[in-house]
Chains A and B, each alone.
Chain A
Amino acid sequence: MAVNLSYREYFKEDALPLMWCAGCGNGILLRAITDSLADLEIPPHQVVVSTGIGCWGKADDYMTTHAFHGSHGRALAFGTGIKLGNPDLHVIALMGDGDALAIGGNHFIHAARRNIDITAIISNNFTYGMTGGQYSPTTPLSSKTTTSPIGVAEPAFDVCGLAEECGANYVARSTVYHVTQLKRLITAAIKKKGFNVVEAINTCPTHFGRRNVPGDTVEMMNYIKEMTVAKSRYEKMDDEEKAKYLVTGELVNKERPDFLSVYREINPAASESGRGEGK
């Protein structure tokens, strides 16, 4: 029988108000994650969120699950240790674009290659929000930031493309505007075994928006809405048109064996002493 859990089981209502700026999409992403956990009916004590540093890295302050608030860029390194130490736990790494792809880029590519059973939820707001709006590896080419006042001269990473190339089992992209799709993709990623990545395109009206999007919080939201296009439409576009958009939806869904399964096969003694089979 369905228990009908609410996101409130996973959300610390008494920690409100949230620390984030007006129009920052972090709260929307947090709601999607807590809604997904409720739908999946995973008890909070079986979930560990591993976070790095940054505005999005503060998300664990508002969750009732276990949390490991580590150092900048290392959410996946700590998450890997937690998962190997106790495979029964669901490990969810919450990372910003700077956290996951700049300082933590190496952990990211190797977590994907290894296919360690962790769900990585990346808030991509195209900037280092917490430290004042410097450019990150996902800042769109020619965007203005505090460290690129004339416009950034480097092309941005395609986060999902990178995850796919490195071997991630499940890769999806959505935005904090497309809340129904966002929740559906996060739910699928948490449910699936292996290294599963959801890139949530996010708003930072305070830093990215102020320099690149004329207008207010709503214009910032419109910007991410208009820069993305659903897979069904994207696939009908020619290459020139595709280059103008970020595609959303489920982009990769493979059945690669995860790291622990492979490790146990190669080293049967590990299974005998292992503390659980994991999900």
Chain B
Amino acid sequence: MNKTDQSVKINIDESLCKRCGFCIEYCNTKVYEADQDGLPLVKNLDNCTKCRLCELRCPDFAVKVEVENNE
């Protein structure tokens, strides 16, 4: 499956996020930006390469990257 045939949704659970900043810092394509409090905001979803490293590197299971195959 070609990655361009997939759509992506990113969910941040604000109550689980401890604002470590890993997802923001280590995303190669800068999908996230921090709000004043350090909470990651999904600013550039179109840049997402669906590598899911932000989900795997989230120490608090707060990031969920959902990849769906388009018809």
Hey, which bits of chain A sit against chain B, CB under 8 A? 11, 13, 16-18, 20-28, 31-32, 35, 176-177, 179-180, 183, 216-218, 221
The residue in chain B whose Cβ has the minimal distance to the Cβ of A179 is: B56
CB of B58 within 8 Å of the partner chain: yes
Tally the A-B contacts, defined by beta carbons under 8 Å.
59
- Assess whether A25 is in contact with B59, with CB atoms less than 8 Å apart: yes
CB of B70 within 8 Å of the partner chain: no
Q: Give the distance to chain A from B22, nearest Cβ to Cβ, in Å.
A: 6
Q: Which chain B residues border A17 with CB–CB below 8 Å? A: 15-16, 18, 60
- Assess whether B57 is in contact with A18, with CB atoms less than 8 Å apart: no
The complex places the Cα of A28 from the Cα of B22 at a distance, in Å, of 11
Contact status of A27 and B59, CB under 8 A, knowing A17-B16, A22-B19: yes
Hey, which bits of chain B sit against chain A, CB under 8 A? 15-16, 18-22, 25-26, 53, 56-61
Partner of B20, one of A31, A35, A217: A217
Q: Give the distance to chain B from A123, nearest Cβ to Cβ, in Å.
A: 12
The complex places the Cα of A24 from the Cα of B56 at a distance, in Å, of 14
The complex places the Cα of A149 from the Cα of B18 at a distance, in Å, of 29
Of B20, B22, B58, B60, the most chain A CB neighbours within 10 A belong to B20
